[in-house]
Structure 1
Amino acid sequence: MHPTLLIEEKENEQEYDMGDSKNAEKIRKMCEEYKPNEKKKESNVELKIMLTDEEPVFQNPRRLSPLEMNAVNMRVKEWLDKGIIKPSKSDFACPVVLAAKKDGSRKMCIDYRRLNKKVIKGRFPLPIIEDQIDKLKEAKMFTSLDLNNSFKSTSHL
């Protein structure tokens, strides 16, 4: 028996037998032709972060070279222009950190360590990872999803 793949297509679900080469080709084509819906800028999801106290966490920015500062400013402008972020007047402030990537470029990160010490952790149990891996044992295709670039890579086993 071959594993099946469940795909939601515009409010209906399609199930595909991964052992059928016709289905595999159809799935490959859907992945290649996928285009994210960039029109939607907002979500109806609300998140409330519970803290141990009401005192804001404020840290001064880390020193960046002029080249690094320019890269950060360009990224922030790009995100503002795309509506990914919006200006804030929050009393909370955490420093930007540039982390080196494997290809030598830099990734912009935020150092939330001090803030994280004040966060009251939610009690949402995660599934047992071994059970999840067991469910994937006969899978033939894996996809990694990149929120910035949509589907980044697909691997066939």
Structure 2
Amino acid sequence: MPGLDRKLVEHKLPTKEGYLPVKQARRMSMETELKVKEEIERLVNAGFIRPAIYADWLANIVPVQKRKTGAVRICVDYRNLNEASPKDEYPMPMTNMLVDRVAHYQMLSFMDGNARYN
């Protein structure tokens, strides 16, 4: 945003010392590539993802085709980035602990698991 100091608003991924950014490359058939592009456009139009400009780390898209419908599900291969990332000192609590903490409330809101992987 114009006028804001980049130190205030810029997000940086912490990486372990000695790891350099990796840009993976993968080829896929033209038919699969078209299905992947359709799925990406659908996710962009829904506002679920947005293009990243000047990304240092580039991970492969791994298309997974659904057996029954033939639709393509988009997964991303973050193995290189996961290896370079330091272990989280404060991991997310277990699901049953989260549910127990909200047990005395009248309403519990949760995300729709329709697309599971998202």
Match of 1:89 among 54, 57, 78: 54
Largest Rg, 1 or 2: 1
Provide closer, same or farther for how the CA distance between residues 60 and 100 of structure 1 changes in structure 2, counting only shifts above 3 A: same
Q: Deviations over 1:62-111 (max 9, x none)?
A: x3222210011122333444553124232321111012447543310110
Query: Counterpart in 2 of 1:109?
Result: 75
- Partners of 1:46 and 1:148 lie apart in 2 by 31
- The letter of the residue matching 1:76 is I
| Deviation for aligned residue 1:115 | 1.4
Which amino acid in 1 is paired with 2:54? K
Identical-residue share of aligned pairs (%):
26
Q: What is the alpha-carbon distance in structure 2 between the residues aligned to residue 56 and residue 98 of structure 1?
A: 23
- The match for 1:49 is 13
Q: How high is the TM-score relative to the length of structure 1?
A: 0.47
* Counterpart position of 2:33: 69
Structure 1 stretch 67-76 or stretch 122-131: which is displaced more? 122-131
Query: Which is richer in strand?
Result: 1
| Counterpart-to-counterpart distance in 1, 2:97 and 2:19 | 39
Instruction: Give the 3 Å change call, closer, same or farther, for CA 106–76 of structure 1 in structure 2.
Output: closer
Q: CA RMSD in A?
A: 3.8
Alignment partner of 1:145: what SS?
Answer: coil
The count of residues paired between Structure 1 and Structure 2 equals 104
Higher-RCO chain (CA-CA 8 Å, sequence separation at least 6): 2
Unaligned runs of 5+ in 2: 1-8
Question: Displacement of 1:144 after TM fit?
Answer: 5.7
1:137 to partner: Cα distance: 8.0
Task: Give the TM-score taking structure 2 as reference length.
Answer: 0.59
Closer, same or farther in 2 for the Cα pair 1:125/1:103, shift >3 Å?
same
| Residue 69 to residue 123, structure 1, CA distance change in 2 (3 Å) | same
